[in-house]
């Protein structure tokens, strides 16, 4: 098969060559779309390809990627980011895939690795992402009777691992895009509301969470499914704790408890509330519930390292050294 690598870039002079060198020999066409670089990004790109296009940035990654894909001519499109790297082992896996991929495969997923090092929005260090796409899809009739057109793509999960090596955390950029869209009165899909919540919980600062307070309270009044409602309430509870708004904090914490068996995020926030107000006995109860009685729905560390660390500190402070040591042993086990 033939491959077009399509990239959107902006001010990537420090990492672009590293990425492109790791892809050398694996593609048949390189498309680079620049969204407004003011450094040497385009100059570096010109050493690898003459197919460099400008695209005015409109705070929409999908629009930029669609433009890049529209310039591709090969059978498959590989979507790369400048802060990605393929090591030699995975270059060989990619080469084998290129030489042997069955033509009916329409999407190849690859493992995205090294995600936790820079506090990205994901909970796992390695997760599958769709990375290689058939440029032109052929619709096929299936079933011998009551025939229908196959709508689901044929997806192959490869063993290729892409190493993500960003120079900084992109959370503030993403949060700015979310808030900018909301300020314009634009709607976010349920998926984007969930991603927004994860961005705030996993990567956002207290200041980020405070400034979206009203947005989430307004959205919570809209019809939505139960799982998304729990996610939205978790963000509101965290924001209310940061703002020390007791009325809103307990209103939405109770909503989470009434929704069923609760979640680790809400128990952690309750523990933090009581710890910050000096009621350490009550705080310990809620931290215990975060670890042992509930499950995380947004951020996995809400059910492990975070509450255990607070429990260890409280136990140390009240002289319960054995209990504190037990909590720290559990944290050590999690790190293995």
Instruction: List, for residues 229-246, the tens digit of each pLDDT value.
Output: 999 999 999 999 999 999
Tell me the pairing of strands 76-80 and 52-54: unpaired
Q: Does 204 have pLDDT greater than 80?
A: yes
pTM of the full structure: 0.80
The pLDDT of residue 120 is: 57
Give 118's pLDDT tier (boundaries 50, 70, 90). Answer: low
- Nearest-angstrom CA–CA distance, 26 and 213: 46
- Nearest-angstrom CA–CA distance, 230 and 259: 8
**How far separated are the first and last CA of the chain, in Å rounded?**
41
Looking at residues 193-198, what average pLDDT do you find?
90
- Indicate the helix (H) or strand (E) that contains 110: strand 107-113
280-334 pLDDT, tens per residue?
999 999 999 999 999 999 998 999 999 999 999 999 999 999 999 999 999 998 8
Give 202's pLDDT tier (boundaries 50, 70, 90). Answer: confident
Higher-pLDDT residue of 59 and 69 is: 69
Using alpha carbons, select from 7, 152, 4, 131 the residue that is nearest to residue 76. Answer: 4
Give 121's pLDDT tier (boundaries 50, 70, 90). Answer: low
* CB 262, CB 294: distance < 8 Å: yes
Q: Does 159 have pLDDT greater than 60?
A: yes
Residue 53 exposed, middle or buried by CB count within 10 Å (0-12, 13-18, 19+):
middle
Stretch among 25-29, 92-96, 112-116, 183-187 having the lowest mean pLDDT: 112-116
Higher-pLDDT residue of 122 and 110 is: 110
- Nearest-angstrom CA–CA distance, 307 and 47: 50
245-282 pLDDT, tens per residue?
999 999 999 988 886 768 999 999 999 999 999 999 99
The pLDDT of residue 328 is: 95
Token pair for 163: 């190493």
Q: Residue 244 — left, alpha, or beta (φ > 0 → left; ψ -120 to 50 → alpha)?
A: left
- Nearest-angstrom CA–CA distance, 48 and 29: 10
Stretch among 129-138, 199-208, 326-335 having the lowest mean pLDDT: 199-208
HSE value, Cβ hemisphere, 13 Å, CA-based, for 274 = 18
């Amino acid at each position: 098969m033939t491959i077009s690598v399509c990239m959107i870039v902006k001010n990537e002079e420090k990492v672009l060559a590293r990425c492109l060198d790791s892809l050398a020999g694996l593609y048949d066409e390189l498309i680079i779309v620049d969204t407004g670089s003011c450094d040497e990004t385009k100059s570096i790109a010109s050493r690898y390809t003459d197919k460099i296009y400008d695209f005015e940035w409109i705070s929409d990654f999908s629009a930029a990627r669609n433009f890049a894909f529209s310039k591709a001519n090969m059978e498959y499109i590989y979507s790369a980011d400048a802060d990605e790297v393929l090591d030699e082992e995975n270059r060989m896996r990619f080469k084998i895939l290129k030489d042997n991929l069955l033509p009916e495969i329409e999407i190849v997923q690859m493992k995205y690795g090294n995600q936790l090092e820079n506090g990205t929005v994901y909970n796992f260090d390695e997760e599958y992402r769709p990375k290689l796409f058939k440029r032109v899809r052929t619709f096929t009739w299936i079933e011998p009777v009551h025939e229908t057109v196959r709508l689901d793509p044929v997806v192959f999960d490869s063993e290729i691992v892409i190493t993500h090596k960003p120079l900084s955390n992109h959370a503030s950029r993403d949060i700015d895009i979310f808030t900018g869209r909301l300020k314009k009165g634009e709607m976010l899909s349920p998926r984007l509301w969930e991603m927004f919540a994860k961005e705030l919980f996993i990567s956002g600062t207290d200041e980020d969470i405070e400034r979206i307070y009203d947005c989430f309270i307004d959205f919570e009044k809209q019809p939505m499914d139960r799982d998304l409602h729990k996610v939205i309430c978790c963000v509101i509870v965290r924001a209310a704790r940061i703002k020390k708004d007791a009325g809103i904090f307990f209103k939405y914490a109770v909503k989470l408890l009434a929704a069923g068996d609760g979640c680790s995020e809400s128990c952690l926030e309750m523990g933090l509330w009581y710890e910050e107000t000096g009621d350490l006995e009550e705080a310990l109860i809620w931290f215990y519930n975060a670890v042992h009685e509930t499950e995380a729905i947004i951020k996995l560390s809400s059910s492990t390292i975070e509450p255990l660390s607070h429990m260890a500190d409280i136990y140390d402070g009240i002289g319960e050294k054995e209990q504190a040591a037990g909590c720290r042993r559990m944290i050590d086990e999690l790190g293995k």
